[in-house]
Structure 1
């Protein structure tokens, strides 16, 4: 999988060198073109993980960007208006992530979203304690975190 990613990067750099324009959009187009070329060349290979993970990773990044924009707007609106809408609370979240890398990435993505902060991780590394600024429904928050963020992140990593 790493070999395919490095080959994809090499193909995108070759595309940028051939076109002579170093723009992000040109590099992204070269990356997508290289991804398509590698997919066509490796259709009959046994290991197809790379071709499933790249679209899932891009989808997750767009999802996270959307969530971050929504959270920033919510916090900004709360700061600008005279009435406060926040209802802080601490959630004890049982996670499915097992390895240190998975836990670290999950807690980083949770903490990057405005209005949430990781307070602690249990000794057995199964529970996250999360401070939430807008905790109107605890069960809804935990369900959205489990089904959206953690599930999508673990699909990419495993």
Structure 2
């Protein structure tokens, strides 16, 4: 509906696109108010996606600042390490999405996915406490990604 709005107005810019999205969201909300719960799933998923994007950008900016500080310091204070992360994901798509999000965050890199696909091996530049790292990953990125996808 955003693209239809942009085409009707003839002005392609972010403000017009976002207004078209909000207008389409509102129209769909009115049309599905009395529909089934399956019809309303869109209205629960879109805010979760937006919150995930904000959470990921916050995490990425924080990681960029940490890596930049490390580069500018005369002495390194990083503590690199490798973690075997046992995930709760079910499909290859979910695993791929998590691996991509981890790889996009500076300071972390996915080394390997185990043959049985139960573990993801992650290298981190700042691994002071493995349990805390795993807990943050499980309760942060993984749980938010599961909310969006499932």
* TM-score category (smaller protein): over 0.9
Structure 2 counterpart of 1:101: 93
Q: Give the deviation of 1:38 after TM superposition.
A: 0.3
- Deviation per CA, 1:123-144: give whole Å up to 9, x if none: 1111111001100111111101
- 1:136-147 equivalence runs, <5 A: 136-147=128-139
User: Would you say 1:114 and 2:76 are equivalent positions?
Assistant: no
**Which aligned segments of 4 or more residues in structure 1 are displaced greater than 4 angstroms?**
none
- 1:41-52 equivalence runs, <5 A: 41-46=31-36, 47=38, 48-52=40-44
Q: Given the alignment, which residue of 79, 82, 93 partners 1:87?
A: 79
Structure 1 counterpart of 2:2: 12
**TM-score w.r.t. structure 1 length?**
0.90
- Number of residue pairs aligned between Structure 1 and Structure 2: 148
- Deviation per CA, 1:12-36: give whole Å up to 9, x if none: 1232234332111220121122111
Structure 1: where are the runs of 5+ without partners?
1-10
Q: Secondary structure at the match of 2:109?
A: strand
Structure 2: where are the runs of 5+ without partners?
none
Structure 2 counterpart of 1:71: 63
Structure 1 counterpart of 2:14: 24
Q: Given the alignment, which residue of 34, 41, 45 partners 2:24?
A: 34
- Distance in structure 2 (CA, Å) of the matches to 1:73 and 1:25: 29
**TM-score w.r.t. structure 2 length?**
0.94
RMSD between superposed Cα atoms in Å: 1.0
- Distance in structure 1 (CA, Å) of the matches to 2:58 and 2:11: 29
